[in-house]
Structures are given as C-alpha cells and as structure tokens.
Structure 1
Amino acid sequence: MSKTNALLKWTGAAAASGIATVALISFYEPLYSLTFKIGFFLFILLTLLFYQKLGRTKRFPITLQKANRKWTLPFVLLFPMILMASSAADQSHIETNIMVGVIYLLAYGTYVFLTLSLMEYIAGIDPKGRTSRFSLLFYIGIPFAAWMLYFIAFFPATMTPDSLSQWGQAHSFEWSNWHPLVHTWVMTVLVQIWDSPGVMSLFQIAVLSVVWGSGMKAIEKRGVSYIGLTLFTIIVAAWPVLGIYSISLWKDVLYSTVLFLFSILMFKIVFSKGTWLHRKRNLFLLFLTSLAVAFFRHNGFPVFLFMGVVLLIVFRKEWKPLLLNFLAVVGIYLIVTGPIFSSLDVRSTETKEAVGIPTQQIANIVINGDLTAEQEDYVASIMPLEDWEKFYHPYKVDPIKFSGYFNDTVIGDDIGKFLSMWAGMVIRNPGLAIEAYLREASIVWQMHEPEPPGYTSNFVTYIYKNNDYGLVNKTIAPDLKTEMKEYLDNSETYFLTTIWRPASYFLAILFLTYTAFIKYGRRGTVWLIALPVLLSVGSVAATLPAQDFRYLFSNVPLALFLMVMVWIPREEKTEIHE
C-alpha cells in the first residue's frame, strides 16, 4: 500500500469516526468536559475499526456471505433500533427536529456498523487451547471464594419481607403458596441442619458456584482454552450482581440458578445433537433440574411445559426419554400441587398477584381515559375511583394492591368478568393501555432507567429490621463490610445502565444467541439454549408487579455464559451437527 493510499484511508477513517463519535455522544448527552473525554477514546477506537474495514476487500466475509445475508441483514437493521430505544435517555439537549433526525440517523448507522463488526469478530474467534483435569476446581472454587466475602461481610444473609415470610413458614409449618411452597420446603429442610439464614446463603453460594463451574467445563470440552475460561471466571466472580444475590434469600435466586442449569443442559443436548440424552445419569440430572424449574417459581411450570414440547419436536429421535421426563415432571407437579397441597391445607396465591399488568392498565385508563358507565361501576366495586388515582404509581402496582382498599375478591369471584371489562377498557383506550404496560415492564426492555418516578430496586445489604423473628445481621469483619458496601454502591452509581438493569443482559442474550446462530451454520437449535430464560422473561413481562431486578436475575448468568459459549470454534459445531 502506497503512503498516499494509506493517508487517504486514515483520513477517511478519522472523518467517519469523528462523525460517528459526535452522533453517539449527542444521542445520549450534551457535549461537556466528561463527554469530550469519553468521545476522545471512542474516536480512537472507531478510527482504528474504520481503518481496519477500509483496508479489506471483504469487510464482513462471515456475516455477510451469500448464505448468511438473508438472515443477517434483518437482524442488523432491527437490533440497533431496539438498542437505541432501550438505551435512550432524556434528549432535551437536542434542540431542533432537524438535529434530532440527523443525530438519530447517524447514530443508527453507527450502531448498524458496530453490530456487524462485533458479529464478524465473534464469528472469527477461535481460542483453542489445552484442557485441564483440575480446571473444574478453578471454575467452582474461584466464585465460591469470592462470594464467601459477601457472606462474611453481610452475615448471615440479606432478607426482605418476602424472605421473612418464607422463614416464618419454615418454622411454623403453616403453609402458603404465595411464595412457591417447594422452595420454602428446601429452606425448611436446611434450617434443620443450622437454624440460621446463613445455611441458605451457603447453599445458594455452593449451588451457583457448582452450576457455573459445570457450564465452563462443558465449554472447555468443546475446545476452548481452560486458561481463558479461568480468567473469565475471575471476572464473573467479581460481578456484583452475582455476589450480593448469592446471599439474598429470595426465591428468584435459586430459581434463576436452576433455570441457568437447564440452559446449560440445553447446551449439552444441542452441541451433542441429542446424544447427551443417551446416558441415564444425564437423564436423571435433566429430571431433577426440570422439577426444580417447575416448582421454584410460579412461572417455572409453564416454562417447563413449553420447553418440554419444543424438545420433543426438535429432538424427535430421542422422544422416548424426553417424553418420559415430561410426563414424570407433569405428573409429580399435579400430585404435589393437588392432593398433597390440599392435605396440608396450603393457602393458595391471591388473585391480585396474577393480574398486576391489567390492574396498572385499568388504573391509567381510570385516571386519564374514557370508561362506559358499566365499566366505571365495575372498577368502583374493586376500589373507589378516587383511590385509583391516589395510589397509582406508573412503575409498580404494589401501592394499589396493598392499599387496603383494593377488593380482589371481586376479581377472584368472577375472573372472566374482570378480563372482559379489562379488554373493553383496553379497546377503548389502546394508547393508555400500551403506555401503562411499557412503564410497568420498563425493567424488562429499557436499559436506561426512566426519569423519576421511574426507579430500579436492585439489592439490599441487610435483614429488614424489627422483624418478628429476631433476625439481625452480625458484623464479623467491619472493614470488609464497609468495602463491600462501597463496591456495590459504586457499581450501582457508575454502571446502573450496564450492570444493574436487566434489559442490558436481555439484549446481550438476543445478540449473542443470534451471533451463535450465524457462527455455527445457522443452526436454529442454538436458540434452545437461551429459550428457557427468554420464556421466563416473557412470563415476568406479563405479570410484573414492580421494578425489582431479582425477577429477571436469570438474565445475568446466561448472558455471561453466552459470552464464552461463542468462543467455541466454528468447526467444532459443524463436526457435531453435520
């Protein structure tokens, strides 16, 4: 390459980088000292990337090859739109409509280019390396040791009213299925060993560490270097969400862990083309994991049902063990939640827990919309009209549900009438219904936290005080407690959008799974790995009561797992499937 051509390419790369940098910065923030510093580093990176692409004849030889083009183009055109809608903050700094149009167009073009470039890079990753007989110890031991620091710092656990409710049942044996009863039974068994919340913390730390370790070992067996996987495991061990949640006594933690394990088992089935199912011990593990998914959270059973049907369709040759597993889990679930729950006089979940989204939509319509006389009378029978506005919070339904004026027996006595009235109100006020839903479900799809009263409830570092059971945190290592609290607070302050909003992981799952779909020869079965978590996200989005990260905790380990799954060489997948 002549000096003149090189200079022209560097000039072109710098010009394109400058335009892209200004567009991206302006899309999110006004230009000031901090954004200039960020912009400088972004300019350098984009210049190098643009120059690299200008210097090649085939700039995207994998993602845009003829066979992949019809799959890649729709994704790279749509995904940046979703990313921009999810990450956009207040844009009042963009003064005119013309500026809005120009900045949006240039930012969109930049994101399309970056999406293609990152997909191309991932598709070319091939970090082959040695395996190790002792690597599993590293994969399990590193996170276990790191998360034990949280156990020591916030001993014996962190607990909220939901946790305390289950703790009370574990000691009184007065059962309620408001929180999944089988999960409460696990706690009941563990406290017989050590009557302290610490036993549940240790159990969660151990299970999450073992599940992560098994996932890394499965990837290592597909040809990825154990050194790279060990280094990545150190990052995972330091991930603040995993650390504090490992000692948070919420049903969501154990459920998300077993759901992640279910995804790992899907990985093994997919990458072995179903032969993993030929061993009895593997089938037993699938059976136990399926039971845990079905029982540890109320939306787990529908997730299992859907996955069971899909597996029977996709892996038809292995229909016998899959059908046996499906029928066994369904049978046990029906027996436990039917006659066994009845014999134990288990209190069922209240109706209002299942109709959170419709309740929010009704509230928004009552306050701002148009109702018929019949709809108005019906809504008033549930709660006085003036109280709907008084207790309405656009990002959580709990203030209405627990206002003391909400009569959910009206709903429970005739759920059909409730749904009919709700549907009628939505049809008359579709814009308000969509607005209410997008706000209530913002934690699912929106990376950037909405302006107040929008919020994100991420974590606690204590047991709720003045509880009925005399449970308190005990300070074992004061300095460690201070440092860990500061570490968590800083991660939330500086990385709220990337680390502490579940939507960031959700978009990462979509991107990485699609990239794996292209990298490994457009094998649709790759989507089965992410499908359990995607189904869980969908079910949460339909019933979400508040902006609590924990409801979508399952996004986190799967997104991190997929980040290294795509390191598997392309040839490895091809050999297995061809």
Structure 2
Amino acid sequence: MPKNLLRWVIISALGLYFSGSLLFFFMPIRNAAIWIILLLAVVLVAFIYYALRFWPMLRELPRGKQISYAIFGTLFPLFIAASIRGEQPYLTDNHIIVILAVWLGVILAVLAIITAVVYWCLSVTLKPFETRVSRWKIALYALPSIVVSTYFLVAFYPGAMTLDSLAQWDQALTHEYTDWHPVVHTMLLSVLLSIWESPAMIAIFQIVLISAGTGIAGWSLDQARIPKPFIWIALILFALSPVHAISSITLWKDVAYSAALLLFTLLMYMIVRSGGRVLMRWPFIAGFAVTGFMVMFFRHNGFPVFLIVTAFVLIMYRPYWMKLFPVAAAMVFIYQIVVNPVYTALDVQPSDPQEMLALPTQQIAAIVTEDGDMTEKQRDYVNRIFPIEKWHEKYNPYSVDSIKFSWGDYDRFTIYDDWGRYARTYLHLVKQNPDIAASALFKQTSLIWQINEPEDGYTSKYTTHISRNNEFGLVNPVLNEDRKMNAFNYLKNADESIPFLWRPAFYTALALLFTYIAYLRNGWRAWLLLLPVALNTGAVFVGIPAQDFRYLLANSMIMLPMVLISFVKFEPQATEVLDDE
C-alpha cells in the first residue's frame, strides 16, 4: 500500500474513532445517525491533517517551548474533557474499557483541534512593526458597544437591578456605608446620582467604561497591524454578545470592575508588545494609575490583583522601574489611607467575615448531609453553628446563601469567637472525609471550571428589570414595547441555543489557549497578559458563594481581544532605556 494512502487510511480511521467518542461522550451512541457520525468524522479528519502539519513547526521551536507543548497538550485536553462532561449514565453503564476508550478518543480529539488551531495561528505572520493610529479612532472602535448597549438601555430603561444592586443604591443615597460593597465604588455612584438620580445614569457610566475598553482594544490592535476587518468582527461580536449587552446596563459592581480589568489587561498587552518602552511615557503611566485605582477599589479582591501584577511588571521590566515604582507606591499608600483612616472617619461598617467561608461551609455541609465520618465532639460543635437538621434542610451544593442567610438559626458568632477551633474542626473533617470534601469543592466551584452546566446545578445569568416592589419606588417604564420584546427574545434565544455563553469556563479556556499561542509566538512574557484575569479567577475560586456569572464577567471581556493578540509579534525587550523615549 502506498505510504500516502496508508497515511490517509490511518487519519480517516482516527477521524471515525474521534467522532464516535465525541458523540458517545454526549449522547447514547445508538441514537446517533450514521450521517452525523460520518460528517463529524470528515471535520475531525481535517483537524487531524492540520494538527499533523504542526509537528515540523514544533521541531523548529526552542526546546523549552517543545516541553511546554507536551505539558499543555496533555493537561489542556484533560481539562476540556472534564469541563464538558455531563452526567453520562449511558456511558458509565458500559465496560471500563469502553469508558476509557471513549475518554481517550475525546481527549485526543480535543488535542487535534487545539493543535490545528495553534498551527493556523502560528502560520499567520504580520509585519513586525507598528503603525501610527490616531487616538480619535478609539471613539470609532467604541461605537459597536455604545450602539448595542444603548439599544438595550432603551429596551429595559432605566436599567436592571437585583436586591444586591438595591442595597448598594441605598448606601449611595444615604451615605451610610458598609464594606459589603466596595465603598469607593459606592461613593462614585453617589457622585453620579447627584448629577441624575436614576439607574440610567449608572448604566451610562458602565456603557462608557466598557466602550472605552473596546475602543482602546481596537486602537491598540490597529497599531499592531491586525487587519481592520478582523478587528471590526471582534468588536461587533463583543458588542452583540448577550452577556455584554445586558451586563452593561445591569447595576452591579462586578460590571465596572470587569471593565477595569479589561483595561488593565490591555495595558499589560501594550507593555509586553512594546518590550516595556511604553512605560517611559507619562500618559501611559497616568492611564495605568487611573485603571489601577479602579481595579483596587471596585471590588475587594482587586487590590491583591493590582499589587501582584504590578510587582511582576516591575520585575520583568526592570530598566523602566523608576517611572512606574513611585506611582505604584503612591497608589498603594493612598489605598491604605483610604481603607483605614478614611473608612474610620466615614464610619464604614465592616463586611461579614462569613463571605470568606463559602468553601469551608459547603464542605462541612456536605459531610453532615452525607453522614460523613464525624466524632461526637465535632458533631456537637457543628450543631452549635447550625442545627444538624438545618444543614440537611438548607444545603445546596452550588450555593452557600441558603445557609449563611439563615439569620435566626446560623450562629456565625460561634465561629468568630474561636477561629482556631473552627479551623481545626474544619481541617480534621476534611481529612476524615476527603472524597466528600473534594466533591463539595468541585460542585461549589463548578462555575469556574465547568463549561457544561451540571444537571442538578444552575447558573445565575442576568436580569432585565429592577427588582419589583422595592422601597425606592424604582420601576421599568416601557418606552418601546417592540424594542423591549426584541431585546428580551434575543437574550432568551441565546440562552436556549448557546447555553455555554453564560459559563465563564468557556471564556477562560479560550483565553488560556490563545495566550499560550501568544507565548509560542513571542516568549514567556506573553503570560503577563493573562495574569490579571487569572488572579481574579483564583480569588473567586477561593471565596465563590454562588453560581453567578457576573463574578467572572471579565473573562468573557478579555477573550476576543486575546484571540487577535495571539497573532501579534511583540517587539524585543530593550536592554537599556532610550533617552529619547
């Protein structure tokens, strides 16, 4: 048999194997029509063909990148397979060999797909130098987001608000602050509402902030000579995403914070692409300061994100530290002044420490409700915190809210009075019940790592109205019935037909893939682009209370710019500071 023919026979056989495995992964294989299996096999054969073309390219890469591909090509497909897996009762009742064969086929199919994508991206070479682009184009590139978000604002005027939004609204009007919401962000809302006391005012601010991010993204990518049609496609897709369209007019602190994180990520891109030279420009340093303040003050976990990312920038671009360090140090100093003496002067009430205990609470609840291994002393202590029967009644594997908001029964002060005992009890319970504790951890953090929503889980996605019968008399008057129904149906249809749009893990996976491609093209400094969102994702993982998409809205915002950034060839890092910069 000719060598070329044999090659195609093997590729075709692999395509059929991958096709059958993927279908069996999601549905009973006997329910799959033959034509679907064959059509999917043809598509996968194309991916396998281009994946094989990557191998000569891989051999030309430095050894470190070859090793990185071996690691990434193993772990990333495993993560994707675990992330998209459903309950699979039709698969798990088969022999273990069949189950392992299907899993192997899915993992290899994902590997072929991502390798083909890597090959296609690295095969594209742009001109390595930047071009001058007028800053006025920022406004032009911001237009898609402005237009779509304004349409949604008119459709659901004057915006959307949940109970969480109303609580912050109350603080903004009364100036009686609690640290449950970021105080500086609440104070900013107070300023905006002094101009126009309407939810629409805050929605407009959010629209402007998000559009500034998209405008700067388009402008900076234009500078890097990304073809304009691709920039416009990315910006239009960003604007039309139901996630961004409805979030932009929903009064959550997470929206402004996510937009700030998008801007911060774009600043990291400018630093890396310029080899650090942009740090010599005072307008950039000013923009870094403004964006950094928003990241620090718009959500509680923003300060460590800013601190760690800035530390990495100072280490990675040491020749420019004299420009950035004084400004960064002043920002940290101001932050400490604000959260200590200023908060004290404003009589800011501290937030409930229970916010930090979501994962331990859920793991203890799982151990109790599944009759895990507990000593009488441990059971008595857990019963003091929350009656045993209440643990059984209130435990939701995907949300801690039903427990922590049981004000009459949940005695949090038992914890606060002796943190040491709580920590010891929790750690011993986890050690005694590792399987139950691990299962509870994975369920509570499902939003972060799982693309496929669990059958017994949920995703809190969006709201289109102000929470009704609120004490402020805020309502949603219908300005245009047709426009409202069109926008509502757009959200509903997207929700039903593309459910993974509301799973942050989908965007995290794509952002990780294209950052890795940027690394292969440019070097290890490309990972700085992902660091702000990675740190934020890690912070949410540690303390996630429920399955609210808004916690990781930033992941969806940075994904599309990251796709185009992966095509950019970065400038080499300078070894010395140029005086004329």
TM-score normalised according to structure 1 size: 0.93
SS in 2 for 1:63: helix
Q: Report deviation, 1:62.
A: 2.7
Per-residue deviation, residues 48-71 of structure 1 (Å, max 9, x unmatched): 3445567xxx54333343523222
Which residue pairs with 1:530 in the alignment?
530
Query: Do 2:48 and 2:116's aligned partners in 1 also have CA atoms closer than 8 Å?
Result: no
Distance 2:403 2:235 in 1: 43
- In the alignment of these two chains, the number of paired residues is 566
Matched, 1:87 2:84: yes
Matched, 1:469 2:472: yes
Q: Report deviation, 1:412.
A: 2.4
Query: Do 2:146 and 2:207's aligned partners in 1 also have CA atoms closer than 8 Å?
Result: yes
Distance 2:125 2:153 in 1: 37
Q: Report deviation, 1:19.
A: 2.2
Query: Do 2:275 and 2:572's aligned partners in 1 also have CA atoms closer than 8 Å?
Result: no
Which residue pairs with 1:14 in the alignment?
12
Q: Which runs of 5+ in 1 are unaligned?
A: none
Instruction: Look up the equivalent residue of 1:237 and give its one-letter code.
Output: A
Per-residue deviation, residues 247-292 of structure 1 (Å, max 9, x unmatched): 0110100011101111111111111121111111211111111111
Residue number among 26, 32, 43 corresponding to 1:45 in the alignment? 43
Which residue pairs with 1:73 in the alignment?
70
Distance 2:325 2:158 in 1: 42
Query: Do 1:177 and 1:347's aligned partners in 2 also have CA atoms closer than 8 Å?
Result: yes
Matched, 1:62 2:61: no
Matched, 1:293 2:290: no
SS in 1 for 2:57: coil
Distance 1:428 1:278 in 2: 55
Distance 1:432 1:139 in 2: 50
Instruction: Look up the equivalent residue of 1:547 and give its one-letter code.
Output: Q
Which residue pairs with 2:565 in the alignment?
565
Q: Work out the percentage of aligned pairs sharing the same amino acid.
A: 34
Give runs of aligned pairs for residues 100-139 of structure 1, distance below 5 A: 100-126=99-125, 133=134, 135-139=137-141
Residue number among 25, 28, 33 corresponding to 2:26 in the alignment? 28
Distance 1:293 1:103 in 2: 44
Instruction: Look up the equivalent residue of 1:388 and give its one-letter code.
Output: W
**C-alpha distance 471-36 of structure 1, shift in aligned 2 (>3 A):** farther
Residue number among 429, 451, 463 corresponding to 1:447 in the alignment? 451
Q: Which runs of 5+ in 2 are unaligned?
A: 576-581
Per-residue deviation, residues 336-382 of structure 1 (Å, max 9, x unmatched): 11111111111110111111111111111222212223322222221
Per-residue deviation, residues 392-429 of structure 1 (Å, max 9, x unmatched): 11110000001121121222233333222212221222
Distance 2:468 2:89 in 1: 42
Q: Report deviation, 1:135.
A: 4.2
Matched, 1:164 2:163: no
Distance 1:155 1:472 in 2: 9
Matched, 1:424 2:424: no
SS in 1 for 2:538: helix
Instruction: Look up the equivalent residue of 1:517 and give its one-letter code.
Output: Y
Residue number among 421, 433, 439 corresponding to 2:437 in the alignment? 433
Q: Report deviation, 1:18.
A: 2.1
Instruction: Look up the equivalent residue of 1:559 and give its one-letter code.
Output: M
Distance 2:131 2:285 in 1: 29
Per-residue deviation, residues 188-237 of structure 1 (Å, max 9, x unmatched): 11111111000011110111011111012112111212232112211111
Which residue pairs with 2:304 in the alignment?
302
Give runs of aligned pairs for residues 237-256 of structure 1, distance below 5 A: 237-256=239-258
Distance 2:310 2:573 in 1: 23
Instruction: Look up the equivalent residue of 2:528 and give its one-letter code.
Output: L
Give runs of aligned pairs for residues 176-215 of structure 1, distance below 5 A: 176-215=178-217
Q: Report deviation, 1:560.
A: 1.4
Which residue pairs with 2:579 in the alignment?
none
Distance 1:466 1:239 in 2: 30
Which residue pairs with 1:553 in the alignment?
553
Per-residue deviation, residues 70-122 of structure 1 (Å, max 9, x unmatched): 22111111110111001111211224123212211222222222221111111
Instruction: Look up the equivalent residue of 1:113 and give its one-letter code.
Output: A
Query: Do 2:273 and 2:571's aligned partners in 1 also have CA atoms closer than 8 Å?
Result: no
Larger deviation: 63-72 or 105-114?
63-72
Larger deviation: 238-247 or 383-392?
383-392
TM-score normalised according to structure 2 size: 0.93
**C-alpha distance 124-384 of structure 1, shift in aligned 2 (>3 A):** same
Measured on the aligned residues, the alpha-carbon RMSD in Å equals 2.2
**C-alpha distance 247-365 of structure 1, shift in aligned 2 (>3 A):** same
Q: Report deviation, 1:565.
A: 0.8
Distance 1:418 1:152 in 2: 50
